[in-house]
Each structure stands twice: as structure tokens, then as C-alpha cells.
Amino acid sequence: MLDIKPTDVRRWQNDLTSYRDEDGKPYAETYLKSIHNQLTAIFNYAVKYYGLKENPCHKAGSMGKKNADEMQFWTKDEFLKFIEAIKNRPSAYAVFMTLYYTGIREGELLALTPADIDLEKSTLRINKSYHREKGKDVITTPKTPKSNRVITIPEVLKTCLKEYMAKMYGIQPDHRLFPHTKSYLYHELEYGCKASGVKKIRIHDIRHSHASLLVEMGFSPLLIAERLGHERVQTTMETYSHLYPNKQIEVARQLDGITAS
């Protein structure tokens, strides 16, 4: 560590910004910021306990951004326009119905199997995640321990999945329910947005759309955190705090009603 200079850190930063994830996309700015913070913390530890004279990250400067780009999401009306436009594309229809009505991550969606769907109990189980690695399908454990969860699904989604699975001839309980890649999701999203005229958002923003719908319906951050698989309720509050002001106004209005009576 004594030989690492600020110029070395800068070179490392430049290399990281040129890397691509499994879908060929640059690393997110928030991810770059997180990695840089971890390296900085390691050097700070060496300064404090092992006699390192200075932290080279301080001179090299930071990278990435603390906050993600402004969140986008669909309203219920926008989603209904989108889903109507792809109703004749059975697989895509089932995919986006599942994403919107559960708020699961795309990797969690692509790892689902028929065994994960309990139509009698109206539940969907999340216990794995899918990604591509060196051209091969890879199934791993979910993102965090809290990501292992069981989600209750509405009747409209249960009917959709029941009809979808009935058309999948020969599918086994451990087969992938949606045997696609993430690029398929992006392609179908773009098609649906053009066909419906609704604004284009990211696949991950459909997760935000689900959360915003729950906030609007008045559900608590704790319930939303459990449904989304967040490790901490604080994460839910930090991510969706901007959606709560209207609820605060409603609280004040009802308190006024109590006082007046």
C-alpha cells in the first residue's frame, strides 16, 4: 500500500469507468461512488493504524455520484396503456404484469419457476436470481437475505400467470418461467412504449412504479420494504421519501378534523 500513489488511484478510476456489466452497460455512477468509498476507507484505516502517511484517494479525487439519477415511474394509467399495447405478446404481457404487480427485480423475475407460483395461496416465492456470465445462464442466491421472501399477488396477476403457464406445453416445475435474457426485457419495453405512447422508463423503474403505487394506496414503509426485499426500512424511506409529502398533508387534514370535532 505504501507504493500506491494518487496517480495510481486515478488510473484505477479511469479503468473502472470504462468497464461494462454483463449487459454491456457502464457501471452505475452510484456503484462507482460506493467502490471508491470502500477504497478510501481501507486507506483511512492504514493511515490510522499502520503508519501510512496520507490517503492517496484524497488527492486523486472522488468518482461517481452519491445519488442516483432522478427516479422515474409510471402511474397506474400509464401502465394500463402500456400493458394494453402488448396484450397480444403473451410472454411480454406476463413479464410486465409480474414486474408491475410485485415490484421484483429483473434478475428475480428471470429466475422464477412454476414451483415458485402457488396459485391456491396466491403467492409468488423469491429465492434466487438470474444473470448471464460469459454467455451462460447463471442462477444465484438473491441480492440480500431479506430478498428471500414470499409475495402475495392480486387476482389479476394470478389469472395472468395461470393462463400463461397453461400455454407452456411440457414445462417442468424447475424450468424457468420466463426463459429470456435482460436484453429481451429492454426490447419489449421499448416496443410497448412506442406502441402505447407512454414515456420510456428503465426496467428497474417498474419496481419504483410498484412502490409508488403502494405509497399512494397508503401502505406503510415497513410493508413496502418487506414486499420489495429491502434489508432496512430506512432504505425504503430514503428511496421513496419524495412520494410521501401528499400523505403528510392528508395526516394534517385528518388531525384538523379531529381537533374540530
Supply the residues annotated as catalytic. 105, 143, 204, 207, 230, 240
Rounded to an integer, what distance in angstroms lies between the CA atom of residue 259 and that of residue 261?
A: 5
What is the DSSP annotation of 20-50? B-TTSPBPPHHHHHHHHHHHHHHHHHHHHHS
β-strand partners of 150:
125
Burial class (CB in 10 A: 0-12, 13-18, 19+), 125: middle
All cell numbers assigned to 136? 451462460
